[in-house]
């Protein structure tokens, strides 16, 4: 029981509910995390605990404010404060370092960047107009803005790379039964991380990496193991994609777009395919019954930034059916995305 000094029971008072305060002050925790990551504090703690004075001297910050912010984040489980005021990383805090597998440093910097923050501030207007908060804040659609701002595009690209790391690709390739032979076309495949993992695990496959011309030039497919088994091709996914593939991959693409744009993308892919060839849509699949899911928050992020959305299996099936596909099955993975297998009809 929690009581006031006068003896009143406050245990059911919503004003003292921790979850409510987490929601109200969530932006404070995010900003504090972004600040310590931006100043490289987690990397400074890689070799062991340091006091706020030591951290401040090495990071060019002020010890007093730093100590207070570190204390707040220690309460959130990112750091641990020991005797003598020395701070250490927790297991969760280790992910804020720049040099560890699965590092979330880039994701933190993106989620606390003005592009993200100002888009979130516009959610009230989004509820009234349906227009993404980003468009209202910056006066242009998200991807058009990034195309004209390379330094900000890099912040976003680094975050996406962090969120869709090799670990995710490994889980996708491990979870889905790829064929032993054939040609795999990775549509809008970026630098080819997924295609590289697919070809490495299945030596009988060949591959085509397809994306914008400026993107595929920075591919990750070089290496003796894959020599002679791949090629790159530049183009526009809304217009056409390479023909002749046995299996087409589309990872983390459809959730960026409205239903109308998804139909354009899927239609472009279907025109390149022959009946019976397969398409793997690798994306988050939300539960259809409203049960909790980690990507519900991501769906709100999409609402903030662009016309995209996360979808249920039924919503994917509707898009696929309207584009000339038959949904065969949804294969879950140990990572956030699932594999939606469809067949050209």
157 shares its domain with 191: no
Structural domain ending residue among the three candidates 48, 72, 101: 101
Whether 4 is in a domain gets the answer: no
**Mean pLDDT throughout 303-328?**
96
Structure confidence by residue, pLDDT tens digits, 18-51: 788 888 899 999 999 999 999 999 999 999 999 9
147 shares its domain with 254: no
53 shares its domain with 142: no
Identify the weakest region by mean pLDDT among 62-71, 89-98, 158-167: 158-167
* 108, 111, 115, 120 alpha-carbon torsion, rounded to 10°: -160
Whether 311 is in a domain gets the answer: yes
184 shares its domain with 329: yes
Of all residues in the chain, the percent with pLDDT exceeding 70 is 94
310 shares its domain with 186: yes
**Which pLDDT band holds residue 306 (cuts at 50, 70, 90)?**
very high
CATH number at residue 207: 3.40.50.150
What 8-state DSSP symbol labels residue 14? G
Query: Token pair for residue 254?
Result: 């459809």
154 shares its domain with 199: no
Structural domain ending residue among the three candidates 53, 68, 101: 101
Residue 254 clears pLDDT 50, i.e. is over it: yes
User: What are the backbone dihedrals phi and psi of residue 221, each rounded to the nearest 5 degrees, phi first?
Assistant: -95, -5
Structure confidence by residue, pLDDT tens digits, 71-126: 999 999 999 999 889 999 999 999 999 999 889 999 999 999 999 999 999 999 99
pLDDT at 1: 47
Identify the weakest region by mean pLDDT among 63-77, 216-230, 254-268: 216-230
Residue 9 clears pLDDT 70, i.e. is over it: no
Q: pTM (2 decimals)?
A: 0.82
Per the annotation, the verdict on 255 as an active-site residue is: yes
120 shares its domain with 153: yes
User: For residue 244, what are the domain limits?
Assistant: 167-344
146 shares its domain with 235: no
Whether 19 is in a domain gets the answer: yes
CA distance linking residue 138 with residue 114, whole number of Å: 10
124 shares its domain with 140: yes
pLDDT at 160: 77
CATH number at residue 55: 1.10.10.10
**Mean pLDDT throughout 258-265?**
97
Residue 300 clears pLDDT 80, i.e. is over it: yes
Q: How many separate domains does the chain show?
A: 3
**Which pLDDT band holds residue 154 (cuts at 50, 70, 90)?**
confident
- Which H helix or E strand runs over 73? helix 63-75
**Alpha carbon distances (Å) from 198 to 149, 194, 329:** 32, 6, 20
Average pLDDT, whole number, for the chain?
A: 92
Burial of 301 (0-12, 13-18, 19+ CB in 10 A): middle
308 shares its domain with 213: yes
pLDDT at 162: 72
118 shares its domain with 254: no
333 shares its domain with 231: yes
Q: Out of 39, 202, 219, 255, which one is annotated catalytic?
A: 255
């Amino acid at each position: 029981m929690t009581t006031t000094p006068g003896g009143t029971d406050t245990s059911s008072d919503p004003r003292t509910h921790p979850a409510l305060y987490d929601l109200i002050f969530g932006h404070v925790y995010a900003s504090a995390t972004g600040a310590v990551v931006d100043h490289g504090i987690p990397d400074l703690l890689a070799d062991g605990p340091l006091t706020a004075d030591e951290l401040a001297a090495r990071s060019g910050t002020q010890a007093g404010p730093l100590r207070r912010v570190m204390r707040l984040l220690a309460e959130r489980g990112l750091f641990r404060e020991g005797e003598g005021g020395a701070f250490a990383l927790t297991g969760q805090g280790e992910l804020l370092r720049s040099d560890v597998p699965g590092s979330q440093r880039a994701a933190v910097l993106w989620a606390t960047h003005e592009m993200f923050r100002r888009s979130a501030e516009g959610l009230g207007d989004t509820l009234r107009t349906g227009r993404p908060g980003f468009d209202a804040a910056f006066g242009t659609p998200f991807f058009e803005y990034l195309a004209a701002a390379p330094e900000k595009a890099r912040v976003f690209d680094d975050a996406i790379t962090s969120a869709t790391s090799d670990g995710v690709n490994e889980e996708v390739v491990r979870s889905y039964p790829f064929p032993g032979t054939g040609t795999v076309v990775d549509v809008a495949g970026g630098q080819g991380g997924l295609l590289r993992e697919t070809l490495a695990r299945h030596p009988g496959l060949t591959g085509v990496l397809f994306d914008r011309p400026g993107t595929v030039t920075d591919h990750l497919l070089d290496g003796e193991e894959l020599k002679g088994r791949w090629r790159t091709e530049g183009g526009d996914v809304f217009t056409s994609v390479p023909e002749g593939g046995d299996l087409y991959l589309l990872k983390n693409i459809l959730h960026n777009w409205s239903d109308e744009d998804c139909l354009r993308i899927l239609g472009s892919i279907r025109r390149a395919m022959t009946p019976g060839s397969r398409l793997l849509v690798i994306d988050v699949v939300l539960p259809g019954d409203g049960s909790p899911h980690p990507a519900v928050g991501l769906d709100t992020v999409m609402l903030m930034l662009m016309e995209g959305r996360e979808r249920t299996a039924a919503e994917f099936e509707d898009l696929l059916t309207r584009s000339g596909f038959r949904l065969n099955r949804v294969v879950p993975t140990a990572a956030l995305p699932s594999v939606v297998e469809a067949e050209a009809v």
